[in-house]
Amino acid sequence: MSYRCGGACGKPNCAFVTTHPFKLKRHADPAVRAKKNKRQRERVKCPQCDQTVSRVYLSTHMVHKHNKRRRKHRVTDRLVFAFLRSLVRHCIQGDKKLGRGGDVDVHAMAEQIFKRATGRTVDDNGGNITGECALVCQRFSLFSLTLDRIDDALPHFVNNSLHNVVITIRGMNSWCNLPKGPGLCALLRAEVDRNVTEAEVEEAVAREKKSSSVSLARRYGQNPRNNILYMSVHTAFRNDPLARAAFDTVKAMFAYCYNLYAQARARCEISGIFMSGHAYNREKGERRSIPHMYQPSVDAKVPALGHVPGNIRIICRFLNCVDRSRRDQFKSQRSNGDAPQQWTPALFKHYVGL
């Protein structure tokens, strides 16, 4: 794995190459580089003879004066454990922020995760993590190792254990009512093959045709809500300047997206699952419910191009992952720059075992 500067430091055609992403950041960011240089110039005491030397010279001093060498680590293991420790810390921070507690031994938890994830062909959700869907211990990938909680009321690491943790891929750790456990992929396969009547299709197509459905609200005894497809279009239009430039109005974008939805007969473009989730799946009185896994969602095929004509598809909510790769300023220099960021029909079929 190699990382190239390519001019990120400000020098055109810079040929700097490294095998560690932080070294690239240190090379390109003057503030980080100055902090590192200041630390290297610090004077520290030798633990053997109490002689004061600069920090950068300490390892050389230990070799020449005391014949002691640092224990070498395999680079791959070091990077993997750095990722796992960061993952554990992130989970602990989230638990504390929401008042769930969860202080644990970070290194011990990382070791447990490493042992549990190494050498597996399926994840805890029953997904096929071989070949192109192989589980990876690095950021910015659809198949990055991630930790999902079985009981959302508890922290990730209950009593320094993984009893409340599901080890799965980032693409299946989305905010919706997706079940957790070894039966998930079997459930998805059954949903793909489920016989959907023409009446169900016509009802779904008619339901999402308008921004809200008064008749449906009356049937449920509730006030009218915005339909799911319209809300997804509205959110994309509001957050994506490229969509606003391409469609001018929400109404125009909704008409385009509804046409895609109707042509597909309410079927997900990635999985082929019938998109049955809608605004009235949540119970009466709920102001903010967890999204239904099969509700329609507007997705940009190539995120960098935005939600524009020709680049939009309507898919199930649980398959609409956030493409975090755009947040990485060194994406073009990463060796995993081509790592999958979004689901495709081929990746979905391989993962669920179709």
Q: d(Cα 287, Cα 327) in Å, to the nearest integer?
A: 31
Q: Is the pLDDT of residue 349 over 50?
A: yes
Are 318 and 178 in contact by the 8 Å Cβ rule? The answer is yes
What are the two backbone dihedrals, phi and then psi, of residue 240, each rounded to the nearest 5 degrees?
Answer: -115, 105
Residues 68-103 as b or e (16 or more Cβ within 10 Å = b): eeeeeeeeeeebbbbbbbebbeebbeebeeeebebe
Of the listed ranges 64-68, 232-236, 265-269, 290-294, the one predicted with least confidence? 64-68
Helix (H) or strand (E) holding 5: none
**According to the 3-state scheme, what is the secondary structure of 314-327?**
EEEHHHCCCCHHHH
Cα-only R_g, the chain: 25
Paired with 53 in beta bridges are: 44
Are 184 and 127 in contact by the 8 Å Cβ rule? The answer is yes
Give per-residue pLDDT as tens, 32-41. 888 888 888 8
15 vs 239, higher pLDDT: 239
Q: What are the residue ranges spanned by the domains of the chain?
A: 3-66, 83-185, 195-320
Helix (H) or strand (E) holding 291: none
Q: How confident is the model at residue 118 (pLDDT cuts 50, 70, 90)?
A: confident
Q: How confident is the model at residue 201 (pLDDT cuts 50, 70, 90)?
A: very high
Per-residue pLDDT, 214: 85
Q: Is the pLDDT of residue 24 over 50?
A: yes
Residues 269-284 as b or e (16 or more Cβ within 10 Å = b): bbbbbbbbbbbbbbee
Q: How confident is the model at residue 346 (pLDDT cuts 50, 70, 90)?
A: very high
Which of 13, 28, 330, 299 minimizes the C-alpha distance to 171? 299
Residue 182 makes CB contacts below 8 A (sequence gap 6+) with 124, 125, 126
By percentage, how much of the chain surpasses pLDDT 90? 42
Per-residue pLDDT, 139: 77
Q: Is the pLDDT of residue 127 over 80?
A: yes
Per-residue pLDDT, 33: 83
Instruction: Write out the two tokens for 90.
Output: 């992130």
Give per-residue pLDDT as tens, 213-268. 888 888 888 888 889 999 999 999 999 999 999 999 999 999 999 999 999 999 99
Per-residue pLDDT, 329: 47
- Single pTM value for the model: 0.74
60 vs 261, higher pLDDT: 261
Per-residue pLDDT, 233: 95
332 CA to centre of own chain? 19
Per-residue pLDDT, 188: 95
Concatenated DSSP letters of 6-30 = TTTTSSTT---EESSHHHHHHHH-H
Q: d(Cα 203, Cα 266) in Å, to the nearest integer?
A: 10
Q: Is the pLDDT of residue 212 over 50?
A: yes
Which of 28, 322, 353 minimizes the C-alpha distance to 171? 322
Mean pLDDT, range 94-100, rounded to an integer: 86
Per-residue pLDDT, 72: 53
Instruction: Write out the two tokens for 146.
Output: 């991630």
Q: Is the pLDDT of residue 44 over 70?
A: yes
Are 185 and 129 in contact by the 8 Å Cβ rule? The answer is no
Q: What's the distance, Cα to Cα, between the start and end of the chain in Å? A: 32
Mean pLDDT, range 307-320, rounded to an integer: 94
Q: Is the pLDDT of residue 331 over 80?
A: no
